[in-house]
A and B are shown apart, each in its own frame.
Chain A
Amino acid sequence: MVNIYDVIILGSGVTGYSAAIYSARFGLKTLVIGTRFGGLLQDTNIVENYPGYKSISGLDLMKKFKEHVEDYDIDMVEDEVKDVKKIKNCFSVKGKKSYKGKTLIFATGSKRRKLDVKGVEEFEGKGVSYCALCDGPLFKNKTVCVIGGSDSAAKEALLLSEYTKKVYIIYRKEKIRAEPINLERVNKSKKIEVINNTNIVEAKGSKFVEKVVLDKNFKGSKELKLDAIFIEIGQIPESELAKKLGVKLNKKGEIIIDCDSRTNVEGVCAAGDVADKEFKQAITGASEGVIAAFNLYEYLK
């Protein structure tokens, strides 16, 4: 007999795990499918805004989440979902294996946006990095830059300032959009300098990155010498599979949900970074996931 789950949760980050805990507590037969247990939060150095933890590493926080999930009777598989289809009264989810569920929660999150500028792809891993937490320590006493102006970009710069001699934040708009607490830290740091209203147009070097070319002069030159470029220019929602299912997306490609985390397709909810909510945080993802689980519990009654 085919095993039919009440809820299949696609995604194993903060959002998926939170939804899973509630789903199991509601007595629903639950499956979590993810390619990376713990999700993207693991790449965050320090989390200071998840209530209950004054300061904890993203990796440690997700370990705690996983332990909590494992305390329940929840199936978890590491698999990459390639296709989702509606078949009669249930959904078929296909990865390496096939799964069936009466309802779905898309907690698929997002992937990093790549910077499409000359030389950047070529130097990826050769001074161009998308993970300050991973590669930052390799640039002790060096000069680096962070591309981007979000709170994440500010946090990357702050982390990098612990290792490096100098960190430039290069941002295309007038003012970086960091949380006030992080903005103050950036402004106070003697190592960080913000270059606003500027884009990079090329990464140059021989074996490794040696400099970037800017679209306007900075201190009298368009060329800025540095040893590494860290890119933090936002995320792309992982909504392709949902789209195939007929789920409505907004212009940014995010899944449109209502305040009960429902999509336009019956029995399908979405939550977290993949959903069309302006404020994307660990705690808001957790909350949307939990609401999704509750909604599907009511739906399945």
Chain B
Amino acid sequence: MKKKILVYSTPTCPWCNKAKEFLKKNKVEFKEVDVSTDEKGAKDMMDKSGQMGVPVIDIDGEIIVGFDEKKIKVALES
């Protein structure tokens, strides 16, 4: 089953870009939420993660804070 993936990010954040590039490279489809403009998205991110820092990646409800390649791989494969 295809996983629903959200990447909460800001356009200027180098680690967000790295996370997005990583997903693209692995041909994983995701929806990007730009929290610098999308206030509701920013609130969702804070509620889900308890964090005010980007990137936050939501893989089918599993929340990964920061660009953690290992955790992302595990979450994608589970």
Which of A133, A140, A207 has a CB less than 8 Å from the CB of B13? A133
B50 touches A207 (CB 8 A): yes
Of A81-89, A107-115, A122-130, A287-295, the one touching chain B: A122-130
Q: Which residues of B contact A45 (CB under 8 A)?
A: 12
B51 touches A134 (CB 8 A): no
Q: Which residues of A contact B16 (CB under 8 A)?
A: 134
Q: Which residues of B contact A134 (CB under 8 A)?
A: 10, 12-16, 53-54
Closest to A58 in B: B14
Question: Number of contact residues on B: which range applies?
Answer: 10 to 19
Closest chain-A Cβ to B64's Cβ sits at a distance in Å of 12
Q: Which residues of A contact B14 (CB under 8 A)?
A: 38, 42-43, 58-59, 133-134
Closest chain-B Cβ to A288's Cβ sits at a distance in Å of 24
Closest chain-B Cβ to A133's Cβ sits at a distance in Å of 5
B52 adjacent to chain A (CB < 8 Å): yes
B42 adjacent to chain A (CB < 8 Å): yes
Closest to A41 in B: B14
A228 adjacent to chain B (CB < 8 Å): yes
Give the complex CA separation of A125 and B66 in angstroms.
9
Q: Which residues of B contact A136 (CB under 8 A)?
A: 10, 12
Which of A43, A58, A59, A135 has a CB less than 8 Å from the CB of B54? A135
Closest to B49 in A: A125
Q: Which residues of A contact B36 (CB under 8 A)?
A: 137-138, 140, 163
Q: Mark B35-78, 1 if CB is under 8 A from A, else 0.
A: 11000001000100011111000000000011000000000000
CB contacts under 8 Å to B, within A29-74, are 38, 42-43, 45, 57-59
Q: Which residues of A contact B50 (CB under 8 A)?
A: 126, 207
Closest to A159 in B: B12
CB contacts under 8 Å to A, within B14-48, are 14-17, 35-36, 42, 46
Give the complex CA separation of A45 and B46 in angstroms.
24
Give the complex CA separation of A127 and B46 in angstroms.
11
Closest chain-B Cβ to A56's Cβ sits at a distance in Å of 13
B65 touches A137 (CB 8 A): no
Which of A126, A137, A140 has a CB less than 8 Å from the CB of B12? A137
A131 touches B52 (CB 8 A): no
Closest chain-B Cβ to A210's Cβ sits at a distance in Å of 12
A131 touches B51 (CB 8 A): no
B10 touches A138 (CB 8 A): yes
A99 adjacent to chain B (CB < 8 Å): no
Q: Which residues of B contact A38 (CB under 8 A)?
A: 14
A129 touches B53 (CB 8 A): yes
B10 touches A135 (CB 8 A): yes
Known: A43-B14, A133-B14, A138-B10. A125 touches B53 (CB 8 A): yes
Give the complex CA separation of A112 and B29 in angstroms.
33
A125 touches B52 (CB 8 A): yes
Q: Which residues of B contact A140 (CB under 8 A)?
A: 36
The 5 A-B pairs of least Cβ separation, nearest first, read A137-B36, A134-B13, A125-B53, A42-B14, A137-B10
Residues of chain A touching chain B, judged by Cβ–Cβ distance below 8 Å, are: 38, 42-43, 45, 57-59, 124-127, 129, 131, 133-140, 163, 207-208, 228
Told that A135-B13, A208-B46, A208-B52 touch, could you supply 6 new A-B pairs with CB distance under 8 A? A125-B51, A131-B15, A131-B53, A134-B12, A135-B52, A136-B10
